[in-house]
Structure 1
């Protein structure tokens, strides 16, 4: 791809969609002062046609039919048993509705969705060669972006669109605004000298760390079909609409919400380990026989510590009792999430 070739020329090393080779975020204060990261690990599906909205509305956990031009929303795509196959970020552009997900999942998820189009007037297109995604954040990011977007989106989960592409404002991380700029490879290359001179260029992993700081779960190959949306707090970040009509797994998702209190939730933890893999099991020190949870997402904060989102039983979320990989593994230090866990029956 043109964009990946360009990044390679800038010193990037791209393996399995993950861009490395730039300065690790922990070598500077870039996540606070200002950064730009190529988000090559994210895939884009463009859904076009007059039935695009109604088709997706019947497949996803959130409202798509009433999506307007400034909305940015999240949704789960579930199996009939309510287990998440993918987590989507989605919005409208002038061509249709864009679905963003973990790139390694895209081919299989796109194929599965295509199976259900049937007579609907909707087409699903791989948009990765036409569009690239940049992640920007930190104190300086908004000012730099005004070179292309004089009017910025002012609140989380909204977007503005102009000739430069789509600019999405996403939930803050550590009290700093975060943006995704979706644009053409050509414009991204033109903008790169200005971006890289005013912001610290960091690896893709830096953006994933800010997602974790914001308490946002991203479903990956290692965690497919492991979670009902509420188990990863998806309804708390606006990813589930309980008033919309049916979609695959809707009955299970609704039952989890309304019949009794939820027993499993996602928390935030710091782990004294340099690399923690999604899907790694979590154990409680009082029970070595079986895991009590699982790592949803994890990224290095420093060379010897990681920040992780962990899904587990609420009753087992106890400081000093949780360990990585085994009941005697590395201890997890629990941290507060940036939003409140509302474990109540609606």
Structure 2
């Protein structure tokens, strides 16, 4: 299905910090299948999934949305990761593969309404006019609009919209990894199974052995927890129990919403970080794709 996603007078505030990288060519699918942690071959054109890259030790380098624009063309939507930096990282592994990596510097990621239709993994649009991804979840109705420069729907950033978007990401368990939290956590520590973001069956990829062993031997002793605080301590801050023992660390924050990786101990009692009390909140569902 193809359409131009800019019905006037719709305006979509720009969301900063989201890189857009197009991978295209005869070997694009095979290359991404070998490098990424989810099953790229399972994607039909026009559909998208959560995906990511791992170190050989199974630590998350980046988490992103991957859209298959055509049989031999993909779009990586990269929260908190510059497209140029991702291209430089992936080029180290291309060798003789036939594909190009093109940062879409003139495109913008914007906040707008969700596309209509029950299938949330189906993108609306095309590679020329732009795309809309449904990022709705429990209690939210939102679309991520990916638009080329000059599209009339693009509006300047609105700080309130940016913060609300980030808070919704965190509330649904989508980690927003700052640079100092890359290569720190395994997919299981970040509970990325909730998003359907990695595969246990697709075959080899960097970090796959660690991911599979952790899953099948039941060795995941920590997981993602949603917390709330009056003001957010920085990522990496220890989370303490009432006795001052460290249970884990903060991963990311947005407004009063925080995500932390904590030991799986539901009876730990009151929690704190940097002297601030933390309140446990349930992670919302509905963002799996």
Please confirm whether the aligned pair reaches a TM-score higher than 0.5, indicating the same fold: yes
The one of 265, 269, 272 equivalent to 1:315 is 265
Query: Is the 1:105–1:221 contact (alpha carbons within 8 Å) kept by the matching residues of 2?
Result: no
1:42–1:241 Cα change, 3 Å: same
Shift of 1:278: 2.4
Q: Which of the pair is proportionally richer in helix?
A: 1
Where does residue 18 of structure 1 map in the other structure?
none
Where does residue 122 of structure 2 map in the other structure?
158
TM-score by length of 1: 0.73
Where does residue 125 of structure 1 map in the other structure?
102
Where does residue 221 of structure 1 map in the other structure?
179
- With 157-166 and 237-246 compared, the bigger mean Cα shift is at 157-166
Tell me the C-alpha RMSD between the 2 structures. 2.6
**Which residues in structure 2 correspond to 1:31-46 (within 5 Å)?**
36-46=12-22
Which consecutive residues of structure 1, in runs of 5 or more, have no partner in the other structure?
A: 1-33, 146-151, 301-305, 341-346
Where does residue 277 of structure 1 map in the other structure?
234
Where does residue 7 of structure 1 map in the other structure?
none
**Which residues in structure 2 correspond to 1:19-38 (within 5 Å)?**
36-38=12-14
Q: Which has the higher contact order (CA 8 A, sep 6+)?
A: 2
**Which residues in structure 2 correspond to 1:290-301 (within 5 Å)?**
291-300=246-255
**Which residues in structure 2 correspond to 1:17-96 (within 5 Å)?**
36-94=12-70, 96=73
Q: Answer with 1 or 2: which has the greater Rg.
A: 1
1:115–1:216 Cα change, 3 Å: same
Aligned residues: 275
3-state DSSP of counterpart to 1:229: coil
Shift of 1:285: 2.6
Shift of 1:103: 4.1
The one-character-per-residue Cα deviations of 1:31-63 (angstroms, maximum 9, x if unpaired) are: xxx994311211111101111011011011101
Distance (Å, rounded) in 1 between the aligned partners of 2:276 and 2:195:
29
Query: Is the 2:14–2:154 contact (alpha carbons within 8 Å) kept by the matching residues of 1?
Result: no
Query: Is the 2:110–2:154 contact (alpha carbons within 8 Å) kept by the matching residues of 1?
Result: no
Which consecutive residues of structure 2, in runs of 5 or more, have no partner in the other structure?
A: 1-9
Query: Is the 1:76–1:229 contact (alpha carbons within 8 Å) kept by the matching residues of 2?
Result: no
Where does residue 141 of structure 2 map in the other structure?
177
Distance (Å, rounded) in 2 between the aligned partners of 1:44 and 1:297:
21
Distance (Å, rounded) in 2 between the aligned partners of 1:330 and 1:217:
21
1:54–1:215 Cα change, 3 Å: same
Where does residue 7 of structure 2 map in the other structure?
none
3-state DSSP of counterpart to 2:276: coil
Shift of 1:70: 3.0
Shift of 1:178: 1.7
3-state DSSP of counterpart to 2:265: helix
